[in-house]
Structure 1
Amino acid sequence: MPTEPPAPSGRPQAARPGRKLGPVADSVGSVHRAWLDPLRGSYRASGLTLNELSTRLLFAKSKLSELLRGVGLYPRWEIVHMLAGELGMPSSPLYRLWRQAAFEAHKNNDWVENCTDHKPILTTAPTTPPLEHRAFRELVENDYSLYAQTFLDDDQRDAAVSDTFDILWLSWNDALASYDARHFSWNVLRATVMSRTPHRDGRPELGRAAFDTVALRSLSEPDHHMNQVTESLELFTAMSRLPAGQLDVMVLRRLCGFPPETTSALLGASLATVRSDERHAIRFLESVLCPPPSTEGTTS
């Protein structure tokens, strides 16, 4: 169970002269953004300008700007690797995310391999994440997997959790500088899971959870089984309408079976917030699933 968050690093925010970096393009895919956002964060924290990076890397400033905004063609690993090296970012998690995003951008395996195999400088030998990152992962990885499994199949669940810790590795200084690293990390997990979760009318689908509940696994009579499926699907449809915080509390508390204290630690939220979110969520679900009887048409 996660208890105390890692201590903040106190890293100062560097100032930079010149034009502010433009926003990420709307067309950027979820996995591409997973490595691009930390790269942009490292760039902002470095204090370096695009002019300085262009001189060091012998790469056009306009192309660096496009890379950092996700504009134009998907970038080759060579320039991403060189830019990350100037910014002090670890190559292993960055490469894994870059590779996934290349396939998301419809690059084939030959293109990906040709971007990495032909130059010694582009090797991606494993590196070791910070000790605090490794310790934090050991504490929460299984719990993160239980949450992700509510929304995703096994392969997607494992990929989402692995990507979460790669993103955290790339953003670890930001996590430590945040007011609560557990809350920062949970937001990364949630964004990663939701980017892979099927949505309907803008709401995440929890259909998988209906077939994984303890109640369903314990039933042996087919009629009871079908009734439970119907009731569960109605419940999960209603749950999908909850605000993000309330939905997470209900998933952790009612589907994963965590006590309030563990839920609080995982979310990086106070116990009072967890209990309040749970009360409001239950009140809403009861109003949807068990509405009061209508008095329309009655006479006194």
Structure 2
Amino acid sequence: MTTPTEPPVPPGRPAPARPGRKLGPVADNVGSAHRAWLDPMRTAYLASGLTLNELSGRVRFAKSKISELLRGVGLYPRWEIVLLLALELGMPNWPLYRLWSQAALEAHRNSDWINGCTDRTTVTATYTAPPLEHGAFRELVESDYALYAQVFLDDDQRDNAVDDTFNRLWLSWNEALAHHDTRRYAWDVLRATVMARTPHRDGRPELGAAAFDTVILHTLTDPADYANELTETLELFTAISRLPDRQLDVIILRRLCGFTHEAASALLGASLATIRSDERHATRFLDSVIPPPSTEGTTP
């Protein structure tokens, strides 16, 4: 999908000064699923120009409680207040509800609690269609996103991660369009969503499950050959996991997903030169840590 030829002013320009106390940062203990909808809501609030006082008057909810909600402080918020704020801030309620529900489960709220919040709400989270450009973008890249996510996650987690990615993009679609490259913005959302669900060791994502799913292992019938190949594959995947983030993504797309340089460039929103450079640097690193096959005893 091409980006606008004359994009709006990129994010990062300071918001107009507003009276009253500045909104504090998100609490450190807020999880990734909670932040998936909280960060877009904070962005919508800051872009609205409203003060907490004004927002409190409009939704008829205590200013202190709104501040706590927007910082992720205290108990996980009920859907009623989240929806009131969303309506006031012009946020689409369907993707917000999907992300809120997912985060509620991770906050150890059961389905009865979630349904109870919704049943008591006058305006429910009815489905509405996303913006046309968002829908077109999803149709263009969804299957490719799933291939990337599959390297790190099982089938159910993969599908949830991809779905959550597009719900997050829907909530922040204007910001995505304002970015210098919508594809790059969207990829960063996908990556953050997938990595939040991926097991990590020493700060790096684990790729052991993907190693067991390589094509060559499925073709080996001799136990000794399988064991040797598995050992080498695990060593390779461990080395891949140590790559810098951008090089890791390029190697995964190129070697594990089978993308061409051009396809990886389009998906990541990076130039062909950048893709090739990242691949070269990654390959040199992998060659330096994975010893070549032994040639001992062979004829020169």
TM-score (norm 2): 0.92
Q: CA deviation at 1:112?
A: 1.0
| Partner of residue 94, structure 1 | 96
Structure 2 counterparts to residues 32-43 of structure 1, below 5 A: 32-43=34-45
Once the two structures are superposed, the pairs formed by residues 29-108 of structure 1 within 5 Å of their partners are 29-108=31-110
SS state at 2:152 partner: coil
Q: Which residue of structure 2 lines up, in the alignment, with residue 263 of structure 1?
A: 264
Work out whether residues 11 and 173 of structure 1, in 8 Å CA contact, stay in contact via their aligned partners in 2.
no
Counterpart residue number, 1:280: 281
Pair 156,111 (structure 1): closer, same or farther in 2 beyond 3 Å: same
Rounded to whole Å, the distance in 1 between the matches of 2:17 and 2:75 is 27
Q: Which runs of 4+ in 1 moved over 4 A?
A: 6-9, 11-14
Which stretch shifts more, 141-150 or 103-112?
A: 103-112
In the TM superposition, residue 11 of structure 1 has moved relative to its aligned partner by 6.1
Structure 2 spans left out of the alignment, 5+ residues: 295-300
Query: Counterparts in 2 of 1:206-221, with a 5 A limit?
Result: 206-221=207-222
Q: Which residue of 2 aligns with 1:115?
A: 117
Asked whether the equivalents of residues 150 and 206 of structure 1 are also in contact (C-alpha less than 8 Å), the reply is: yes
SS in structure 2 of the partner of residue 82 of structure 1: helix
Correspondence for 1:298: none
The Cα shift of 1:124 comes to 1.1
Question: C-alpha distance in 1, partners of 2:243/2:182?
Answer: 25
Pairwise mapping of residues 168-247 of structure 1 onto structure 2 (< 5 A)? Answer: 168-247=169-248
- TM superposition shift of 1:7: 5.6
Pairs within 5 Å for 1:160-171: 160-171=161-172
Map of 2:136 onto structure 1: 135
| Matched-pair contact (CA < 8 Å) for 1:207–1:233 | yes
How far apart are the structure 2 equivalents of 1:93 and 1:187?
Answer: 18
Partner of 2:298: none
Given that 1:16 and 1:48 are in contact with CA atoms closer than 8 Å, whether structure 2 keeps it comes out as no
Output the amino acid matched with 2:98. Answer: R
> How far apart are 1:215 and its partner, in Å?
2.1
Secondary structure at 1:119's aligned position in 2?
coil
Aligned partner of residue 115 in structure 1, secondary structure = helix
Q: Which amino acid aligns with 1:96?
A: R
2:242 is paired with a residue whose SS is coil
Shift of 1:229: 1.2
Identity fraction in percent: 70
Deviations 1:210-262 (A, max 9, x none): 12222223334333222221111000101111100000000000000100111
2:24 counterpart SS class: coil
Question: What residue number does 1:253 align with?
Answer: 254
Partners of 2:269 and 2:121 in 1: how far apart? 43
Report the Cα distance in structure 2 between the residues aligned to 1:8 and 1:149, rounded to whole angstroms.
Answer: 35
Amino acid at match of 2:216: A
CA distance in 2, matches of 1:189, 1:214: 25
Unmatched tracts of structure 1, length 5 or more: 294-300
2: CA distance, partners of 1:195 / 1:40: 20
Letter in 1 for 2:161: A
Shift, 1:6, TM fit: 5.2
In 2, distance between residues paired with 1:249 and 1:153? 21
CA distance in 2, matches of 1:117, 1:9: 41
RMSD, aligned α-carbons? 1.8
How many residues get paired?
290
**Structure 2 counterpart of 1:76, which letter?**
R
- Give, in angstroms, the shift of residue 185 of structure 1: 0.3
Distance in 1, matches of 2:74 and 2:163, equals 28
Structure 2: distance between partners of 1:60 and 1:120: 20
TM-score (norm 1): 0.92
Distance 2:228 2:263 in 1: 31
In structure 1, C-alpha distance between the alignment counterparts of 2:208 and 2:2, rounded to whole Å = 33
Q: Distance in 1 between matches of 2:77 and 2:156?
A: 27
Partner of 2:297: none
- Measured in 1, the distance between the counterparts of 2:131 and 2:6 equals 14
Letter in 2 for 1:262: A
Deviation at 1:103, TM superposition (A): 1.0
Question: Secondary structure, in 3 states, of the residue corresponding to 1:120?
Answer: coil
Query: Which amino acid in 1 is paired with 2:179?
Result: S
Structure 2 counterpart of 1:167, which letter? Answer: R
